[in-house]
Each structure stands twice: as structure tokens, then as C-alpha cells.
Amino acid sequence: MDANLSTAPNDASSNSRSQGYFFAEEVPFGMALMRMVLPPVLLIDLFYRHPWVRELYSTDGATAPLGVNFAIPSLLPEFGGGVAVALHAILIAAMICSSIGWFTRISLVTAAVLYSYFGLLDSLSTITKYTVIATHLLLLLAVSSSHKIWSVDAWLERRRNPGGPENSELPKAPVWPARLVQLLFGIIYLGAAITKMHTPSFFSGDQLMYWTMTYVNNIHPLGDWLSQYPLILSAFGYVTIVWEIGFVFAIFHRGMKWWAIAIGAFFHIMTMFTLGLYIFPMVMFSGYLGYIMTSEWQVISSWRVSGFFSTLARSIPQWLERMVPASQQRPWAAPAAYALTLGVVALAAVEVEYLRDPYKERGPNGPLTLEEITPEEFDKLFEPDRPIRPSDKLLAFDLGTLQIGEHLSNRRREFKQGERIIAQATISPPHEDMWLDCWLHESKPGSEPNQTVPGRSVVKVGQSVARETFRANFLFKVDESLPPGDYFLRLRSGRDDLAIKKFTLLPRGEVRAETEDDAQAQPEESLQAN
């Protein structure tokens, strides 16, 4: 009985903290900022896809509903091309109205419903990670009070109630929608970390390396450079895992909250330069705005740069006052104007698409027809798969002396007598079980002046490479039995040459021209070159 009584105050205190955390009333600065920023980010993709709405989202084209994957092909209704174009135009208009805060809640609900609808109709390209996250953010904005400040709705409310609170007394609202945004991001990052934990290639850096090498998203020149250093990518992988796990806990600590967000911002900025992701980071940045509370906005508003936005926030209502004097206000004017705007936008989009006639349905020769492919193209499509050349299976062939994890940390071309050379072959997946040979060759003069080519072979090292293995290491101990000079390492698979790497062997006491530190010796399991 005493124990229960002693814990009661603690339970009450915990309950009061929970109530205060979710239901405390603050001015919705963060949610209003997110409302203004998120829709313009999503409009980038919406404007890009609008010319192909009939093809992607209507019965006139080729939809790919997500319901088909779950044996529910008729999960969502599909409309003709004209209706699809009109609905997509309404979606664009609702996004714009949401950003400026005109009939904010209706606009956000409309945007969330239509944005989800079009995404679920095209599971091949439209629905992505950022569209799913954006849908949740739109829904949370719709149930928030983001329209109470910095919006057309707030301006109209002040006109209807001129004797209401002054601008210095900004309206407050419960913060639980902003808290749900914060929890949403924490759960997203935690789920991403759990997924990465089940992907061994992420920790080795291989997954990141191949991502940075591809141009599936957009051009990213920094990714090409970073793909040459998989050890750095592997270290970034571990840092990312730790940050994603700790994010959901750090955001509840006032001293760590913005450090966690700063690391997240840096992480997403790097995805822009290394992976070519643009819209996804901007969606995440928009969500970060929901973390701004009243006390934090007071600090931000003290910055000089905030003066521009404050002036802009004051000038827009003044401009609206001049455009629409209060004497001309009618109770039905705003709803009628909103409905008329959506209707005009929908009809205009249908008319523009009709006049543009992208598929030449009313062209001089009738609708466009499919062109018959040539017999050569037909045979090429159905011919057996061509075998991959052994040289195409090799991604890289590097030399060094120090290995950290699976990667060489000091790739170079000059070595001293007595060092151990690690020749590392990186094989691109997927590949079959392979046997690789690495030959050490002396050099001999070539046909061109000052040219050297592989000469007499000194030693050969063989190794099997299993299909699940990405790397093979060949170890050579070069001592005084090999005179200083140029040598070659040749990698072979059967009778096929995969790569040839030239290196220089220096006397034991000579200093290398390179600046890398010498590697510490590893266990003596190397091969003697005789």
C-alpha cells in the first residue's frame, strides 16, 4: 500500500509532463513554415509530370496501381484522360493554396487525398520514399493550426474581427501535430537503421559505393570522386547507423535536438551531391521546420536575416488591403472565389491539353499509331543473353600495404624492399564462383621509347572467389631478392587478362616520393617472391 502511494506522485508528474508535451499551447511557427515550404517543393515534381497525366494516371494510358501487387486491382477508381488532367490541375492549385494559406485546411486535405491517389495509381515511378513521407506531412498539416499565422486565412480572420487580438498577440494552438511530425521523423530514421542493419553490404561501403557510381537519379560529380574511397563510405555508413538510431532519442533532449537536426541536414545535403537526390532532401528539410517551437523562433527572429521575412510578412497583408478594400468584403466572396479558382484551373488544364494534343488524336493523319519494329530489332530482343566478359566483372584492381576491414587505406604505386604488397581485386556483383590468378612480372623494354611492358613472370598466386564475395586479396613480400625497378602485377581469370598494374620497387633505405605513411605489418602469412 505504501509503495503504491509513493509512486502515485511520480505517475501524476509523468502524466502532467506528457500532457504538457503534447497539449501545451504555442504559436504554430514551425508548422506554418512547413506549410509554406513543403507544397512548393512537391510542385517541382507535379509540374514536371503534368504533361504526361493522361499517359500515367488515366485509362487512356498505362497505369500501374499499387493494388495489383496485393491482388486488389480495383482498389482505386481510374478515370478517363480528361478527368485525370482536371484532378491533377486541382491538386496543383490545392498545393498553391496550401502554401499561401487560403482555405488552408480544405486545401491540405484535398492535396493529401489527391497526392496519395496519383501516387497509388503509378507505383512504378510516382510513389517513392519522399512521396510517402510528404503524404504524412500533408495529413499532419491538415489537422494542425498552421493557418492561424502567416496565411490568407489569418488575414481574412482579422478583417472579419477588426477588434480581435493585436498582431503582437499571435494565436496559440496545441503542439501535438508538431510533436507527431517529430515522432514521425524519429520512427522513419529508426526504421531505416533497422533495414540497414540487415544489409551487410551497407556496412562494408559496397552499397554506398555502387550508389555513388550510378546516375539513376541525377548528375552528382562528388559521388564519382567518393566512390574511389570505399573506406570513407564504410565509415559514413557506421556514423549514419548510429545517428539514425539516436535521432528519436536526441530530439527529446533540448541540448542535443538541434545537433541531431544539423547532422541530419548535412546528411541530406550530401545525398544531393553524392547520389543526385534533390526533392527527397528538400522534403526532409521542410519537415525539419516543424521542430521550431516558440522559444526557438524568438531566437531566430533576433537574427538580421529574419528582418527581410518580417518585412515581407507585413507587406503582403498591406498589399491585400489595397487590392481588396474592407468595404468590398462579402461573406460569400471568399468561398465563391476559392471554388471558382479550382473550377477555372481544372477547365483550363483540360482545354490546354486538348489544344496541345500531345498524342495527335486530332492530327491530319488521325491518332498516332505504333510503329512496327524491324526483323533485326525483333531478333535482338529475343536472342539469348550474351555472356559477360571476365574483364567486365572487375570493378577495380588496387595496390597498397594496409588493409582496414575489407578496404585498402593507402593505395599507391611505389613500395620499398621488405614491404608487403596487397593486391586487391574488387569484383562487381553478381558473379559466379571464380578462380583468379595474380602474376608478378619483371619489366622489359617495349616497342615505344621509354616504355616498359610485362616481362618474365616471377611468381603466381591463385585464389578462389565465391559468388557472395566482392574482393580478393593477393599478398606479396618483396625483399632484396627482387632488385629495384619497375614491376607489373597481372590479374587473370583462366586465360583472360582482367587488369595489369605497374608499380615501382625502391631500395630499402630510399624514401618514397609519396606522402602516405607506411603501413604497420600484419601477421606473417604473406607469400615470398622468388
Cell numbers 564519382: residue: 224
* Co-location of 76 and 163 in the same domain: yes
Position 311 scores a pLDDT of 61
Higher pLDDT, 468 or 57: 57
Looking at the structure of the chain, the number of domains it has is 3
Given pLDDT bands bounded at 50, 70 and 90, which one contains residue 358? confident
Question: Minimal CA–CA distance to 526: which of 485, 478, 493, 477?
Answer: 477
Position 203 scores a pLDDT of 84
Lowest mean pLDDT among 27-31, 185-189, 443-447, 523-527: 523-527
* Co-location of 80 and 225 in the same domain: no
Given pLDDT bands bounded at 50, 70 and 90, which one contains residue 10? low
* Co-location of 430 and 402 in the same domain: yes
210 assigned to some structural domain: yes
Residue 485 in 3-state DSSP?
A: strand
Position 321 scores a pLDDT of 56
Name the percent of the chain lying above pLDDT 70. 85
Q: Is 512 exposed, middle or buried (0-12, 13-18, 19+ CB in 10 A)?
A: middle
Lowest mean pLDDT among 118-122, 270-274, 405-409: 405-409
79 assigned to some structural domain: yes
Position 6 scores a pLDDT of 45
d(CA 509, CA 405): 30
Higher pLDDT, 298 or 475: 475
Give the tens place of pLDDT for each residue, 331-349. 677 888 899 999 999 999 9
Grid coordinates belonging to 500: 595489369
d(CA 41, CA 31): 15
Given pLDDT bands bounded at 50, 70 and 90, which one contains residue 330? low
Q: How do strand 403-404 and strand 407-408 relate by DSSP bridges? A: antiparallel
Q: Please state the pTM of the whole predicted model.
A: 0.81
Report which listed range, 223-227, 300-304, 434-438, is most confident: 434-438
* Co-location of 282 and 398 in the same domain: no
* Co-location of 45 and 164 in the same domain: yes
Q: Give me the chain's average pLDDT, please.
A: 84
* Co-location of 70 and 114 in the same domain: yes
Given pLDDT bands bounded at 50, 70 and 90, which one contains residue 192? very high
Position 323 scores a pLDDT of 58
Report which listed range, 133-142, 447-456, 464-473, 511-520, is most confident: 133-142
Give the tens place of pLDDT for each residue, 27-66. 899 999 999 999 999 999 999 999 999 999 999 888 999 9
338 assigned to some structural domain: yes
365 assigned to some structural domain: no
Which DSSP category does 368 fall into?
-
18 assigned to some structural domain: no
Given pLDDT bands bounded at 50, 70 and 90, which one contains residue 79? very high
Report helix angle 81-100 to 333-356, nearest 10. Answer: 140
467 assigned to some structural domain: yes
Give the tens place of pLDDT for each residue, 489-521. 999 998 888 999 999 999 886 655 543 333 333
Name the percent of the chain lying above pLDDT 90. 41
Report the 10 Å Cβ neighbour count for 455: 15
Mean pLDDT of 229-236: 87
* Co-location of 180 and 282 in the same domain: yes
514 assigned to some structural domain: no
Question: Minimal CA–CA distance to 27: which of 170, 218, 201?
Answer: 170
* Co-location of 239 and 215 in the same domain: yes
Q: Check pLDDT > 90 for residue 138.
A: yes
Give the tens place of pLDDT for each residue, 395-442. 889 999 998 888 888 888 999 988 899 999 999 888 888 999 999 999
d(CA 121, CA 171): 40
Position 517 scores a pLDDT of 38
406 assigned to some structural domain: yes
Each as own residue / partner, the long-range contacts of residues 521-527 (CB below 8 Å, 24 or more positions apart, any chain) are: 521/420, 522/403, 522/420, 525/475, 526/420, 526/475, 526/476, 526/477, 527/459, 527/461, 527/475, 527/476, 527/477
Position 211 scores a pLDDT of 86
Q: Check pLDDT > 50 for residue 129.
A: yes
* Co-location of 249 and 146 in the same domain: no
CATH number at residue 456: 2.60.40.1930
Position 313 scores a pLDDT of 57
Higher pLDDT, 93 or 467: 93
Q: Check pLDDT > 90 for residue 113.
A: yes
* Co-location of 155 and 33 in the same domain: yes
Higher pLDDT, 94 or 390: 94
Cell numbers 484522360: residue: 81
Position 490 scores a pLDDT of 94
* Co-location of 356 and 491 in the same domain: no
* Co-location of 165 and 31 in the same domain: yes
> Could you list the residue range(s) of the whole structural domain that residue 192 is in?
176-292
- H helices within 388-488, ranges in order? none
